[in-house]
Amino acid sequence: MGAPDIVVPVREGAINRQLRYALRSWMANLPHGRVWIVGYMPQWVKTARHLPLRQGGTKYANTTAAVRRACENPLISDPFVLCNDDFFVMRRTPGVPVLHRGPVREVEAYYAARASGHYLRGMRETAALLGELGHPDPLSYELHVPMTVDKTQMLHALDVGKHLNVVHKRTLYGNLAGLGGEEIRDVKILHRAPTGYSAQDVFLSTMPDSFANGHVGQFIRKAFPEPSVYERPGRH
């Protein structure tokens, strides 16, 4: 069996420079088959496969629909690697490790001290659902890193959690599938300062501002100056 395909949900409209450099990083450092863009296909992208998807819901509903669409498509490898368009693989890795963020209760406490809203409520509802299903102290898999997805098990998780408005699908899938794995801190850099990451990190993720205006964005762009096979020349 060859290397798994990469699936990346992409929102509509943006030029999306983060996706450009994410593709460069995957080509350089993450062995894979094809890249499947689910949702919006920027005009500058070539070679990657496209699964069109109407994105009329919230960002949470849109990404969940994209994952379901990928799982139901027989042309996409099983398993596949799920990425976001702002996931960067900074160092060569032979495959995708199983990583988690620690117990949901600890992640919940972190977010509860800083904010409230749909994401936190979804975290709590997902954890409560897992508790009902025999996972009283579930792990959080809501990291900004690639994740290997078994289609049948992910579809089961999406069906189990379809009544939730904001299902934490990676967490639901990871616990129901019994993935286990290694605990790490989240790799998403929210700020412009040259802190929170190092040249030894395998995975990085950014916000639009930290990528465009921050030290981390400069670091990523310097690491991947050459266009990938996924870019049309002269397109921005």
Each residue's pLDDT tens digit, 41-90: 999 999 999 999 988 888 999 999 999 999 999 999 999 999 999 999 99
Per the rule left: phi > 0, alpha: psi between -120 and 50, beta: everything else, 24 is alpha
CATH number of the domain located at residue range(s) 6-223 in this protein: 3.90.550
Taking a C-beta distance cutoff of 8 angstroms, is the pair 205, 84 a contact?
Answer: yes
pTM, 2 dp: 0.95
Task: Output 220-223 pairs: Cβ under 8 A, ≥24 positions apart.
Answer: 220/21, 220/25, 220/88, 220/90, 221/21, 223/25, 223/90
Beta 203-206 vs 87-89: how paired, if at all? Answer: antiparallel
Give the helix/strand (H/E) hosting 60. Answer: helix 59-72
Dist CA 120 CA 71 (whole Å): 26
Q: Report percent pLDDT > 90 for the chain.
A: 89
Quote the pLDDT of residue 158.
Answer: 98
Question: What average pLDDT score do residues 89-96 get?
Answer: 96
Per the rule left: phi > 0, alpha: psi between -120 and 50, beta: everything else, 154 is alpha
Quote the pLDDT of residue 156.
Answer: 98
Residue 229 burial (CB count, 10 A): 11
pLDDT band for position 204 (cuts 50, 70, 90): very high
Task: Return the closest-CA partner of residue 71 out of 3, 180, 147, 158.
Answer: 158
Taking a C-beta distance cutoff of 8 angstroms, is the pair 63, 122 a contact?
Answer: no
Taking a C-beta distance cutoff of 8 angstroms, is the pair 100, 143 a contact?
Answer: yes
Quote the pLDDT of residue 213.
Answer: 97
pLDDT band for position 116 (cuts 50, 70, 90): confident
Task: Return the closest-CA partner of residue 109 out of 123, 128, 130, 129.
Answer: 123
**Residue 109 pLDDT greater than 80, yes or no:** yes
- The letter for the amino acid at 162 is K
Q: What average pLDDT is seen over the chain? A: 95
**Residue 236 pLDDT greater than 70, yes or no:** no
**Residue 180 pLDDT greater than 60, yes or no:** yes
138-160 pLDDT per residue, tens: 999 999 999 999 999 999 999 99
3-class SS at 80? strand
Q: Where are the domains of the chain?
A: 6-223
